[in-house]
Structure formats: structure tokens, C-alpha cells
Amino acid sequence: MKLSTKGRYGLRALIDLAMYSEDEAVSIASIAARQNISESYLEQLVGKLRNAGLVVSIRGAGGGYKLAKRAQEISVGDILRALEGNLKAVECPGIKEENGCQSADLCVTKYVWQKINDSITYAVDDMKLDQLIEESKKAKIKGQLNNMDCEN
């Protein structure tokens, strides 16, 4: 499985949104500037996230976007599936009981593909947005400390 820019940029954008939207809605322009993503591309990604029920739009002065759920309720899998669709590394018809492939009864590689697909699902569903927010905060602090070391 290889994620496209939709998944990579969308995940970065949602982490940013979650970090900055605790008190007020966040604009597309501010996320785009912080994450160095084009505003028009980001609008497309946020539209997909909104359709998936992960973000809500706030209209009017001070409008923008906020999370539709708490960060600990949103998994990386939720985000990536909203942006990328199916996350399976291999679509093997032999895995399905009905309408499988002709070689399903003799093919043992279907177990490999199922194990890989299950591992991906577990990994992305086990990671929650709030964990990534904490990691991002740690990275920012580390970056600030490294910058201070460079100034001395």
C-alpha cells in the first residue's frame, strides 16, 4: 500500500486543525500556511473529511473548521479511509468465501494477503489523533530547544 498526497497531506492538515481548533475554528488559509499545502488542494481534502463526519465547518466571522469528534475518537484509519478509500495492500478475491477466485481452495498466499491487510487495519485504527497531537507538541518543543542550541 502506498499513500498518495491526499493521505499524507490530509493527515498533517487534520493534526494541525486539531492542535489549533481547541478554542476557535481554524481557517483553511492558516492550515495551508503552517503546513505548506496549497489552499485549493486543502479545500478538497477538508471537503472529504467533512463528508466523512470528521470535521465541521463554522460559518461567519471567525469561521473555519473544527473537529466533529474528540481527537481521541478519531483514528488514523478513519482519516486515511476518508481520503484514500480502501487501505488494503492487496485485493485478493480468494479471501472472500463467496465469489472468490478459481484457485482459492488451493492458494495459500491468500493468508499472507489477509495477514498484511489485517496488520495495516490494526495499525491505523490503533493510532488516534490525540496521540499524534502529543507527538507533534513534543517535536515542536524539541525543535525549539535545538534552535536555542544553535543560537548559542
pLDDT along the chain (152 residues), means of 10: 88 94 90 95 96 93 91 96 88 63 68 88 95 90 66 48
Nine cell digits for residue 110:
491468500
So what's the pLDDT on residue 91? 76
Domain ranges of the chain: 5-151
Nine cell digits for residue 100:
472468490
CA distance 135 to 38: 24
The residue behind cell 478509500 is 85
Task: Give me the residues paired with residue 56 across strands.
Answer: 66
State residue 51 phi and psi, 5-degree precision.
-60, -30
CATH number of 5-151: 1.10.10.10
CA distance 20 to 137: 11
So what's the pLDDT on residue 109? 78
